[in-house]
Structure 1
Amino acid sequence: MTATLKFLLAWVCLQLPLQAYAERPRTESVAAPVPEADRYALRCQSRAPHRTVKPQGTMLWGTRRDWDTEKVTDERSSVLVSASLKPLRRADAQVTALKLEGGHLVATSTSFAPGTPEGSRVIGAVLQGTASDGKPVEVAICGAEPSPEDPGMVWYRIEAWNALAQEWENPCVALDRVPDPRALAVRGVWDSSGTHREVPGQLTFACENGAITKCIHWGYKPWASREGQTLAGLHQACTRMARADYCGNGRSHTHEDTGIDMYDRLGVIARTTESSAEWDLARASFEAAWAPDGATCLARTRDGRALETILQECPDRFRADAALDLGEGDRCTVRRVDVNPRTALLRNQSYGPRKAAVSPASGL
């Protein structure tokens, strides 16, 4: 038998199983049809953000720490922490000033052509910004995109002047899930300790991958209110919770993309009560309760380090105590010395350390 004939026979043998598999009848699962009235009743429903698939992280502003990527910098550093609404460094000839209303910027002008979109009026404006080290940095507004979920909130595409490279660059940190991050304009400024301060005429361009913006996206809009109560305190507590900033000093105790479940006193976000592909109740347990200036009590740390390390990091803030029951199964063993943990605005669960597998041979 020639080599060519052997090759042809081998090829035929390989194709027969494939052909049989291709001709095998398929069995697909088809959902039962929804009655027409029900189908139309389900259209255009508002979709609450699924917080358990919105991973938290270590960044506060979501900005680069330094323009020099080779430089080792502290996590509390940023190339852009605030911007001033006036005086404008540069703007369209018609724009005389900018002001912040809720979640968007508004341009004051001498005249605009009828029908000019509100967002486009601020494009091209250059504001005077400040880095965490106090150095000035210019920031330009390059685009404005109204949020589909909230017309009163606008996403801005910004660029800051990189004096090191002598070019305009997006100061926001890009991640795989958000490779081209935008920013929100939020009233006030956050300092290196993570503390928010209201400063007249000052705002923060909070980038998409940072805790300030994540907490807004989860539902805690600092300019909004619920049942007559402002959400500003809840938003600030959320920025501490998102980064596991227990001591309220701006230091995180977590890792990027760690899953969490949060729930608050005002009912903006309720506790997750059913497991899903994104959240496993069997693995989740209470972690901490939160106030705007950090944790009020802890059961454990999010990144697995010993609670003693937190007591050492802020020695006069917490004390180890008998277990305190906060209700609904939430119990903490380390509590603030100056705050009643039961007054916390926000609580969260996270996944604790996985238990080591038990070997049948060990008898344990």
Structure 2
Amino acid sequence: MAKNGAPWLVRADARTSLGAAIVLLVLIVIVDLAAGPGPDVPSLLVLPPFIAAAFAGWRPVAALGAVCLALGAILILTGDQELSEIPMPLLMDLATLVVSAGSAVVVSVVRQRQQRRWSALSRLASVAQQAVLRPIGPIVGQLELAGRYVSASDHADIGGDLYEAIDTPYGARLIIGDVRGKGLPAVRLASTVLGSFRHVAYERSDLRTVVSDLDRAVARGAGDEDFVTAAFLEMRGGILTILNCGHPPPLLLRQGKLEPLEPPAAAPPLGFMPVAKPLTVRMEPGDRLLLYTDGLAEARRDGVFFPLSERAWAPLGHGSIVDALASLESALRSWVGGPLGDDIALMLVEYIGSDSDAGTSWHDDTSETLAV
């Protein structure tokens, strides 16, 4: 199906299929006239209406079917000059043309109805996802940021990728996550996670308590095999704190170098009672941080994964953060050279600094500080 919001693509497909059907029709007539009586070439006239029905509307298909029927009658009758009456085999050939033309019209009608249904579902899915993923930025606390959702499908098979950034009394707090599965159940669980985060991020002074609250929310709202990978970030006074629950590590871009911020120890996703060990990083003005879901790291071409560390630093380091995200998506699609295998949520963050850089974020003896 063509993308919703691109009717020109639908029209182009319809013109292509109709043109191919007409070309085939002309070729059949030429071959029949060249071959003369004998070969059963007119029976091939059942094909053009079905080719047109692949994308064209039912009216052009019906018109083409009528033309094929008329030409078929002419070719069949002129191909047997010695008979004064129409024999049964020729009547069967004509009946076959009538049935095929009518069937092609039915196919076109059914396809158009399904196309309208998919378009409606896609619009509903888009509305549902926009309700879950609110626009973020452009400034949250000491951070300039932008978010981008890259869909792998043109249909309504939406995923549960999520992100959010809010300013709280405890600094800017961010989450990026990925719900296992797709469709409305995944969107529902993503909505639960984001709703809980938007509430408890304001209420809890300790980021670990935020994680614990969201873990309980996921456990209550998820199925037995459902879970949510997530990374939680807090920026306060120039100190970035990260709690990672089974999610791909954020990438820090500083002075042209890209470095993954791996957690000190692995922790399970939300829903499995994660105990994440904090990682703290002192940020410098101009540092950029890429948060992403696994659809980016697992994008592949001919079985080879997208070389994220090698290809991401160039687009991410130039221009505004909005333009940088667009450049990253363009580089990804160019490398993959086809449809993506999974939806991707992206959030690019730039630390802009402030007069309060001397402050500190919470951390304890179990946290690990990364000096980069």
Give TM-score scaled by structure 2 length: 0.24
Structure number with higher helix proportion = 2
TM-score, length-normalised on structure 1? 0.25
Please tell me whether Structure 1 or Structure 2 has the larger radius of gyration of its CA atoms: 2
Q: Determine which structure has the larger strand proportion and give its number.
A: 1
